Amino acid sequence: MIINMESIKNTLQEKGIKPTYVRLNILDYLERNRFHPTAEAIFKSLEKKVPTLSRTSVYNTLNIFKEKGLLNPLFITGSEVHFDRNTAPHHHFFCKKCKKIIDLDIKCAYFKEGEVEGHKITELHGYFKGICKDCLKKGSK
Amino acid sequence: MIINMESIKNTLQEKGIKPTYVRLNILDYLERNRFHPTAEAIFKSLEKKVPTLSRTSVYNTLNIFKEKGLLNPLFITGSEVHFDRNTAPHHHFFCKKCKKIIDLDIKCAYFKEGEVEGHKITELHGYFKGICKDCLKKGSK
DNA sequence: TTCCATATTTATAATCATTACAATTATATA
DNA sequence: TATATAATTGTAATGATTATAAATATGGAA
C-alpha cells in the first residue's frame, strides 16, 4: 500500500520526470526499502503489484533516476549494482556474512574539501567490509 | 623483458603458489604496471609474449592471487574489475575524463580502528571520482 | 629415463547482469 | 477523436566472468 503517493509524485515532478505508474512504484519502493536493493530485487518485489512490469523498465527507470540525481549506484559486491535513495554523502558497511549493506553515520575529512592531492572531487565513495554487529552477536567467529 | 624474475618467484613461493610461466608473467606484469589493469588489459598485454595464454588462465590466476592476498579487486567503474597489486590500505581517485585510477596517499581515521559503529572491519574501500590533476591542467571544464 | 598421478592451462560453452532495439501501448494535446 | 510523442514491454544482444572438460605440463616413483 502506498502511503505518501503525493510526495512521491512531487519528488518526480521536481526533477522533471513524468510521474508514471511504473516510476511512482519504483520510487515508492526505494523510499520505503532503504536496504539498497538491486534491480532484480526491485523487479521481484514489484511484479505482483505491477504484473506487466518488465526488467527493462526497472533498469530504464533506475537509469533515469540516477541521471536526475534521485539515487546513487553502489559498486560494492562486484556482481550486482545496489541502489541508494539517500544521495547525501555517507559511507556503507557490507557484511560478508549476511550480505547486508548498512548505512554509516561517520564523518570523512574529505567530504567537504572538493579536492584531494590536486584532483577535483565530484563524488565520494567509502565502504567497509567485515562482520556486522548483528552477525557478531549471533556468534559468528 | 623481465628484470627481477627471482623476486617475483619468491613472492609466489612465499604465498604457497607454484611459480609457473603464466603466473610469473602475470605477477610480473602487475608489479611493473601499477595502474590497476583489468583482466582483459592483462590478457591483451601478455598475449604477444605468452602466445598460448588464455583469458581463462588470466582469470584463474587473478582469483588465486586474490585468495592468497597478493592483490585486491577494485569495484569502481561498475563494469570491469580492476586489480591492485598494492594490498596496503589506501584510497583511489577515478578520473571521469581519462578513466585513470590514481593511488592516493591520504589517511583515513578508520584505517586502524578495526570497527565502526559496532561492526567488525576487515576491509577498507575508499575512492573519489572527479577530474584528475592532469585533465584539469589540460583545460577540461 | 619412463611411467603415472596430479596440477595447470586451454578452448569452449554457459551464466549473469545489463543494455540495445524494435514493436506495442499509453498519454497528452490539438 | 485523431495523432504525435513518450513510456513500456519482450526479445535479442552484449560483455565480463565462471564452469567444464579436454589437453598439456610437471614432478616424483620405479
Of A74, A98, A121, the residue at which a domain comes to its end is A74
Q: Count the residues in chain A.
A: 141
Q: Is B101 an 8 Å CB contact of chain A?
A: no
CA B111 to chain centre: 19
Question: Over the stretch A88-135, which tens digit does the pLDDT of each residue have?
Answer: 999 999 999 999 999 998 878 776 778 999 999 999 999 999 999 999
Share of chain B above pLDDT 70, in %: 96
Classify residue B133: in a domain, yes or no.
yes
Single-letter amino acid, residue B110: Y
- Residues of the domain holding B35: 5-74
Instruction: Assign residue A66 the CATH number of its domain.
Output: 1.10.10.10
Nearest CA in chain B to A114: B130
On whether both A95 and A69 belong to a single domain, the answer is no
On whether both B70 and B10 belong to a single domain, the answer is yes
CA A89 to chain centre: 12
Q: Is B105 an 8 Å CB contact of chain A?
A: yes
A79 C-beta less than 7 Å away from strand C: yes
Residue with cell 591542467: B137
Q: Which residue is nearest to nucleotide D8 (CA to C1')?
A: A57
Classify residue B29: in a domain, yes or no.
yes
On whether both B12 and B54 belong to a single domain, the answer is yes
On whether both B92 and B70 belong to a single domain, the answer is no
On whether both A100 and A60 belong to a single domain, the answer is no
A67 C-beta less than 7 Å away from strand C: no
Classify residue B83: in a domain, yes or no.
no
On whether both A104 and A61 belong to a single domain, the answer is no
Instruction: Assign residue A99 the CATH number of its domain.
Output: 3.30.1490.190
Alpha carbon distance B11, B19 (integer Å):
9
Residues 120-139 of B with CB under 7 A from strand D: none
Mean pLDDT rounded to a whole number for chain B? 93
Classify residue A80: in a domain, yes or no.
no
Alpha carbon distance A118, A24 (integer Å):
41
On whether both B12 and B70 belong to a single domain, the answer is yes
Residues 99-118 of A with CB under 7 A from strand C: none
Res B87: pLDDT: 94
Of B74, B97, B125, the residue at which a domain comes to its end is B74
Residue A76 to residue B75, Cβ atoms within 8 A = yes
On whether both B10 and B67 belong to a single domain, the answer is yes
CA-to-C1' span, B33 to C9 (A): 24
CA A81 to chain centre: 9
Residue A106 to residue B116, Cβ atoms within 8 A = yes
Question: Over the stretch B22-60, which tens digit does the pLDDT of each residue have?
Answer: 999 999 999 999 999 999 999 999 999 999 999 999 999
On whether both A14 and A67 belong to a single domain, the answer is yes
Total beta-carbon pairs less than 8 A apart between chain A and chain B: 105
Classify residue B81: in a domain, yes or no.
no
Helix (H) or strand (E) holding A89: none
Cβ-nearest to A116 among B121, B123, B128: B128
* Poorest-pLDDT segment among A3-7, A9-13, B115-119: A3-7
Asked if residue A139 has pLDDT above 50, the reply is yes
On whether both A57 and A17 belong to a single domain, the answer is yes
Of B25, B44, B74, the residue at which a domain comes to its end is B74
Classify residue A82: in a domain, yes or no.
no
CA-to-C1' span, B54 to D22 (A): 15
Classify residue A129: in a domain, yes or no.
yes
Cβ-nearest to A117 among B73, B104, B129: B104
Question: Over the stretch B54-103, which tens digit does the pLDDT of each residue have?
Answer: 999 999 999 999 999 999 999 999 999 999 999 999 999 999 999 999 99
Single-letter amino acid, residue A133: K
On whether both A58 and A93 belong to a single domain, the answer is no
Question: Over the stretch A61-84, which tens digit does the pLDDT of each residue have?
Answer: 999 999 999 999 999 999 999 999
Give the long-range contacts of residues A1-9, CB within 8 A, separation 24 or more. A2/A28, A4/A31
pTM metric for this prediction: 0.93
On whether both A48 and A107 belong to a single domain, the answer is no
Q: Is A93 an 8 Å CB contact of chain B?
A: yes
Residue B116 to residue A128, Cβ atoms within 8 A = yes
Q: B123 forms bridges with which residues in the sheet?
A: A129
Residue A90, judged by CB atoms within 10 A of its CB (0-12, 13-18, 19+), counts as middle
Classify residue A116: in a domain, yes or no.
yes
Number of structural domains chain B divides into:
2
